[in-house]
Amino acid sequence: LPSISHAPIAADRPPALPICEHHLANGLRLVAAEDHSRPVVNLQIWYHVGSKDEKPGNTGFAHLFEHLMFRGSRNVGPEQHMRYVRQAGGVVNAYTSFDTTVYWETFPSNCLERMLWLEADRMASLDVSQENFVKEREVVKEERRLRYENPPYGMLLEDILSRAYSQYPYRHPPIGSVEDLDRATIENVRAFHSTYYLPRNACLVAVGDFEMDSLVTFAEKHFGPIPSGGRIPRVHDTEAEPENPRQEPVVYPNAPLDAIVDAYLLPPLGHPDSYALEMAATLLSTGQSSRLYRKLVYEEQIASSAQGDALLLEGPSLFFCFALAQPGASVDQLASSLDEALAAIRDSHASEEEMTRAHNQVAASFVLGRDSAQAKADFLGRCAVLLGDPLRYNTEFERFAAVTCEDIRRVAARYLVPQRRLRLEVHAGAAPVVQEAE
């Protein structure tokens, strides 16, 4: 058996993708890569609108609207969208994030034109009845109960965002509030469509088994006639640099274990420092030899899980550190151990062995992140829409590979400091179920 030694940096690299771009006269961008290895295509349409574009009093609207995009357009009746995809052997879904709303289909390559037609029809027109609008709003409320209101720690994201941001519209999660959902009207729906669901605010991403020429021809045919529309309103808010550590307790009546969540304000996705910050998260959290797992979970045994992760968004972003207590461990113990781990990453360099580990973990995640047409299109869309250049698909890995131990120390000392931190102390309101055997 080989003994523990310093593994070398792996020679394996994520393979490059041949990326093509095409711009329609109405402003629609087309970003695509042919991959004929399987007769499969993933198609995504990225609308550059998310929950941060919602005004106070209208939270949850971008997500509610995403649901309504499956409820009918000029040539496609309610529920027919799903049926057309299914009849073609495809799968379909959509998601709404802080910055974008993304609709996607994965399908056998013989139905590319049908899928483009479906997406074009609902970009060109939306046809939702008042009755279906009201029902869909109830569906969204059930989604909110399922993911947020009923689970023991379901309100965590909402509670941390509303405190970590003082004014930037990342203050609320995409699901929104029930009161705001109830305020939405069908007129809001029509206005939202005509403001944001425009060719100039959209990017069509496709990866898989097609010829670029046919893709362009079909896209011109079905999307080309859609008017480009007016100017897209953008968010101009900023978030003030925090000056003091903040700490707030919350009690979750249905939670059995205490927890700590720290949020540090970060620069946006694609900022030169963001790569070293993601590598810091890797050092802290990836694998069972990572710093937080080893310290809080394995050695001190005060946490049942502990993670640090960067949520990098188009605007001011957050670095989260999270620890869920073991029964008997206090919030103060979690806090001081997290503080020690963060101090260590600010004050000293990671060892050569740790750096090799982090670089290999990033390489493996890049390779794994290219294991399907959909995985490739996900990252291609992120590069095109949020990083502003689809060609960064093939160069982003090198930015991580270039990160040094000094880069990580420097960004940790710059951003992961107490004065930028909001600490949420979660106190369990429920007695733990864990019982000792006799």
Partner 1 sequence: MTPPALTEPRPLGFPAHQTAVLPSGLTVFAVEDHRLPLISLQLEVLAGHALVPPAQAGLAGLAASLLREGTSARSSQDIARLVDSSGGNLSASAASDTTSLSASFLRSSADLAFDLLADTTIRAVFPEQEIERQRAQALSSLAVHYKDAEYLATVAAARAILGTHPYAWPSDGTPLTLPALCREDLAAFHTAHFAPTRAWLAVAGDLAAEEAFQLAERHFSSWPAAPSSPIEIPPAPQPRAQVLVIDMPGAVQTQIAIGQPAVARCHPDCLPLQVANQALGGSFNSRMNLKLRASEGLTYSAGSHLDLERAAGLFEATTFTRSGKTAAAVRFMLDLIEEWAGNPATQEELDEAKSYLTGSFSLAIEQAAAVARRLLAIPVYNLPADYWATWRERVRGLTVGDLRAAVSRHIRPRALAIVAVGDASQFASRLESFGEVRVVPASQFDPASESLLSPGDNE
Tell whether residue 213 is a contact of partner 1 (CB under 8 A).
no
Q: Which stretch binds partner 1 (CB under 8 A): 134-142, 199-207, 230-238, 377-385?
A: 134-142
Q: How far apart are CA 421 and CA 248, in angstroms?
A: 11
95-114 binders of partner 1 (CB under 8 A): 106-111, 113-114
Tell whether residue 7 is a contact of partner 1 (CB under 8 A).
yes
- How many other C-beta atoms can be found within 10 angstroms of the C-beta atom of residue 157? 18
DSSP 322-358: EEEEPTT--HHHHHHHHHHHHHHHHHSPPPHHHHHHH
Q: Give the nearer residue to partner 1 in terms of CB position, either 340 or 352.
A: 352
Q: How far is the CB of 233 from partner 1 (least distance, A)?
A: 30
Token output for 304: 């049942």
Q: How far is the CB of 346 from partner 1 (least distance, A)?
A: 22
Q: How far apart are CA 66 and CA 383, in angstroms?
A: 22
DSSP type of residue 185: -
Q: How far is the CB of 4 from partner 1 (least distance, A)?
A: 6
Q: Give the nearer residue to partner 1 in terms of CB position, either 303 or 411.
A: 303
Residue 137's nearest CA partner among 60, 49, 54, 81 is 60
Residue with tokens 């899980």: 305
* Binds partner 1 (CB under 8 A): choice among 187, 241, 243, 371: 371
Sign of the alpha-carbon torsion through 358, 359, 365, 369: positive
Tell whether residue 436 is a contact of partner 1 (CB under 8 A).
yes
Tell whether residue 287 is a contact of partner 1 (CB under 8 A).
yes
Q: How far apart are CA 395 and CA 198, in angstroms?
A: 29
Q: Give the nearer residue to partner 1 in terms of CB position, either 140 or 385.
A: 140
Tell whether residue 12 is a contact of partner 1 (CB under 8 A).
yes
Q: How far is the CB of 99 from partner 1 (least distance, A)?
A: 23
Q: Give the nearer residue to partner 1 in terms of CB position, either 13 or 271.
A: 13
Amino acid at 74: R
* Binds partner 1 (CB under 8 A): choice among 157, 181, 226, 257: 257
Tell whether residue 333 is a contact of partner 1 (CB under 8 A).
no
Q: Give the nearer residue to partner 1 in terms of CB position, either 163 or 291.
A: 291
Q: How far is the CB of 388 from partner 1 (least distance, A)?
A: 27
Q: Give the nearer residue to partner 1 in terms of CB position, either 146 or 413.
A: 146
Estimate to the nearest angstrom the gap between the alpha carbon of 269 and the chain centroid. 11
403-432 binders of partner 1 (CB under 8 A): 430, 432
Hey, which residues does 204 pair with through a beta bridge? 30, 45
Q: How far is the CB of 184 from partner 1 (least distance, A)?
A: 14
Q: Give the nearer residue to partner 1 in terms of CB position, either 190 or 221.
A: 221
Token output for 436: 């000792």
SS3 393: helix
SS3 letters across 228-276: CCCCCCCCCCCCCCCCCCEEEEEEECCCCCCEEEEEEEECCCCCCCHHH
Tell whether residue 330 is a contact of partner 1 (CB under 8 A).
no
SS3 404: coil
Tell whether residue 290 is a contact of partner 1 (CB under 8 A).
yes
Tell whether residue 225 is a contact of partner 1 (CB under 8 A).
no
User: CA angle at residue 198 from 193 to 200, to 5 degrees?
Assistant: 155
Binding mask 59-98 for partner 1 (x = CB under 8 A): ---------------xx--xx--xxx-xxxxxx-------
* Binds partner 1 (CB under 8 A): choice among 26, 217, 361, 394: 361
Residue 74's nearest CA partner among 200, 184, 193 is 193
Estimate to the nearest angstrom the gap between the alpha carbon of 29 and the chain centroid. 21
- How many other C-beta atoms can be found within 10 angstroms of the C-beta atom of residue 415? 22
Alpha helices in 74-111 (DSSP H): 80-87
Q: Give the nearer residue to partner 1 in terms of CB position, either 244 or 435.
A: 435
SS3 1: coil
Tell whether residue 140 is a contact of partner 1 (CB under 8 A).
yes
Q: How far is the CB of 101 from partner 1 (least distance, A)?
A: 18
* Binds partner 1 (CB under 8 A): choice among 141, 183, 200, 399: 141
Tell whether residue 402 is a contact of partner 1 (CB under 8 A).
no
Residue 301 gets the label, from left (phi > 0), alpha (psi -120 to 50) or beta, of left
Residue 398 phi/psi, 5-degree rounding, is -65, -30
152-171 binders of partner 1 (CB under 8 A): 152-153
Tell whether residue 58 is a contact of partner 1 (CB under 8 A).
no
31-50 binders of partner 1 (CB under 8 A): 37-40
